Amino acid sequence: MRDFDLVRPASVAEAAAAFAASGDAAYLAGGHTLIPAMKARLRAPETLVDLSRLPGLTGVTRDGDRLWVGALTTHAAVAEDATVEAAIPGLSALALLIGDPQVRAKGTLGGVIANNDPAADYPAACLALDATIVTDRAEYGAGDFFQGMFATALSDGEIVTRVGFRVPTASAYAKFRHPASRYAVAAVYVARFTDGVRVAVTGAGPGAFRWTEAEAALTASFDAGAVAGLTLEDGDLSSDIHCSAEYRAHLCGVMLAQAVEGSING
């Protein structure tokens, strides 16, 4: 790993200022994507701005139909949180499927969504749970925030501060994990609201996306039979060393059925 200047700011404003002052900076949250990328010299920032000491960016609160999670809340903390479990158990289950216990002890919600890995879990939850993503300078709907592989609406130096998930009447996440990396080969989040159903897919394409045909079918009739045989066009899906697009298209159907069953059976 190339050496860098480490800055450890005590406030969001200081962090943003340190980022802006450097010609080539990166933010460090849990570090479980960035540090491996730096070791592999895929990233070599001149300045690393450590966000771990910023106050007020961890924890969970329920406010009406929104569940707010601080951007620096770790996956382990989300998985263990009683407020999350009571409001959106599907989100607790999703957090528990990220990485492994040591990764979950460090990895953060904000880090995941700012990076927007196409196989990351939280982008699917954000899309299906109609999330609002708040930063130090703006607020985004999840549909505007995620812009394809490793791309987001964030401008240079913008810091995600918290995410508000809309609380559904039922939801579940079904994930086919890559056995080595534990990222999603294909995964589906299904969320049922009083005004309709939202379905999001991750791992299968160049970025998380909503599956509108599945949403329409499930809004009409919320059972696995309503989406039996529904498939995605494999031309839009990823093909790589792990599996073909055709296989991913099949997996998405299987994960969709599992997520619907999970939403019904809790």
Chain residues binding other proteins by CB under 8 A are 1-6, 8, 28, 31-32, 35-36, 38-40, 48, 50, 52, 99-103, 105-106, 180-182
To the nearest whole angstrom, how small is the minimum distance from the Cβ of residue 48 to other proteins? Answer: 7
From the CB of 171, what's the least distance to other proteins, in Å?
A: 22
Nearer of residues 36 and 148 to other proteins, judged by Cβ: 36
At 68, give phi and psi (nearest 5°). Answer: -100, 130
Residue 193: CB minimum distance to other proteins, A: 31
| Shortest distance, position 105 Cβ to other proteins, whole Å | 5
d(CA 46, CA 42): 13
Q: Which is nearer to other proteins, 184 or 197 (CB)?
A: 184
Write phi, then psi, for 201 (nearest 5 degrees): -120, 140
Nearer to other proteins, 52 or 83 (CB): 52
Report the number of secondary-structure helices (H) and strands (E) in the chain.
Answer: 11, 12
Q: Which residue has the tokens 């609406």?
A: 153
| Maximum C-alpha span of the chain | 56
Cβ nearer to other proteins, comparing 5 with 213: 5
* Complex with other proteins: residue 30 or 168, whichever CB lies closer: 30
Shortest spacing between CB 4 and other proteins, in angstroms: 5
Could you tell me the two tokens for 33?
A: 């994507």
Q: How many residues does the chain have?
A: 266
State how far the Cα of 90 lies from the Cα of 83, in Å rounded to an integer.
Answer: 12
Q: Fill in the amino acid letter for 195.
A: D
Query: At a CB cut-off of 8 Å and minimum separation 6, what does 232 contact?
Result: 201, 204, 211, 249, 252, 253
Check if the beta carbon of residue 53 is closer than 8 Å to that of residue 14: no
Backbone torsion region of residue 107, taken as left when φ is above 0, otherwise alpha when ψ lies between -120 and 50, otherwise beta: beta
Q: Can you read off the two tokens belonging to residue 243?
A: 């599996």
Spatial contact of 130 and 166, defined as CB atoms under 8 Å apart:
yes
- The distance of closest approach from Cβ of residue 217 to other proteins in the complex, given in angstroms and rounded to an integer, is 33
Q: How far is the CB of 65 from other proteins (least distance, A)?
A: 31
Nearer Cβ to other proteins (102/244): 102
Given the complex with other proteins, which of 35 and 230 has the nearer CB atom? 35
